[in-house]
Structure 1
Amino acid sequence: MKESSRTCMTARLHLRPIDPNDRDLFCELHTSVRVMQFIGSPLTESQAIRKFGKALQMTRERRRHLRFYAIVERHTDKPIGICGLIRSRSQTGLEIGIMLHERWQGRGYGREAVWALVEQTLRRGPVQRIFATTDARNAPCAGMFRGLGFQQQPGDGNARKTLWEISRESMAKTPATAQQKGNNHSDGMKFQC
């Protein structure tokens, strides 16, 4: 796969496969109490380093759509978060996840990054379905997925988790830009993936 097909640009962001230079960001996110509050217990530094090694290996294997991306703010060239697509043992399709440094939360960057990855994966690849699992208490994340056209799915008995799904079929019936899906950023979502 060509490297250009492994990156994605929006008006404000560049999503690129993680590389060894992203270890500090990855570890900072995974050890942060605030960032991890709706994901799980923060990891220790050594646990985060091991997890980064596994994520880097998965990304380097170049399996189609299975990788982790650094979210880089284009204006500053600063990595601000990590997002990724992985296979799940319990669901069909791919699971999307995102972690943003707390200084960058609440500014639409998460929405922009998730939509770029969804757009690239569903419109241009063989994947038929993407899902996300959120903590039921994480209202901003639920609002983001709802605003992007994800549909809330029936629960699996865990009242603290909410399952969201978007399919290629449902995406084809909705507008292709996050601006039309409620993104209130004037710079919009122009993709170059």
Structure 2
Amino acid sequence: MTQTTQLSTDRLLLRPWRDSDLAPWAAMNADPEVREHLGEVMTREQSEASVRKFQEEFAARGYGWWAVEVRDSGRFIGFAGLDDTDEEMSFTGVEIGWRLTRSAWGHGFATEAALACLDFGFDRLGLDEILATTIERNVRSQAVMRRIGMTYDPADDFVDPTAPEGPLQAGVLYRIRRDAARSRPPHA
């Protein structure tokens, strides 16, 4: 795919990455509170490399991680999107995710962006199921997963082999099937 799709909600624009996103993205990834459930903070070089990888994967697959901005102000607030599960995991599929700067927490932006990503995954990609993962103690992300209609089964709990040894390895898996997504009210 040569052009990255944009998604628009009432308040957000999920769009291709821009050079102007690099500084706020790097600052976000250097924030220990943002990285609390993800591992070590990232250097600017690591953040820039992650954006290049996001762009390459999106170009190759037609989906991935969008930069998220607030439509009214144009302010970059993080990312949201869909990604293939890591090969090392004990399950396969496409998972949804998000990461927002602290100033964007508590405003419903993660839920709004996630609903747009679900619609894209089911309507445009034709997926039958979308997954979401996080660690056990990340209750904020689990709340978003429940708000967007995902369900949790303790039998799906897993140990993340890609995470450093310790509490970041204890993972939970949420799921939503296309038919369940159709039964929820539209986000827009």
TM-score under structure 2 length normalisation: 0.83
Give the aligned partner of residue 155 of structure 1: 157
Could you tell me how far apart the structure 2 residues matched to 1:98 and 1:139 are? Answer: 14
- SS at 1:26's partner residue? helix
Identity of aligned residues (%): 25
User: How many residues are treated as equivalent by the alignment?
Assistant: 175
Taking only aligned residues, the RMSD between alpha carbons, in angstroms, comes to 2.0
Q: 1:157 to 1:80 in 2, by over 3 A?
A: closer
After TM superposition, give the deviation of residue 13 of structure 1 in Å.
Answer: 0.6
2:50 alignment partner AA: K
Gaps of 5+ in 1: 178-188
Q: How far apart are the structure 1 equivalents of 2:180 and 2:56?
A: 32
1:109 shift after superposition: 0.4
Q: Which amino acid aligns with 2:66?
A: Y
Give 2:148's aligned amino acid.
L
- Structure 2 regions of 5+ residues with no counterpart? 161-168
Aligned to 2:185, which of 173, 176, 181? 176
Whether 1:71 and 2:48 are equivalent positions in the alignment is no
Per-residue deviation, 1:38: 1.2
Conservation of the 8 A alpha-carbon contact between 1:19 and 1:56: no
Q: Give the 5 Å matches for 1:47-58.
A: 47-58=46-57
TM-score by length of 1: 0.81
Which residue does the alignment assign to 1:7? 6
Q: Which has the higher contact order (CA 8 A, sep 6+)?
A: 1
3-state SS, counterpart of residue 176 of structure 1: coil
Runs of 4+ that moved beyond 4 A: none
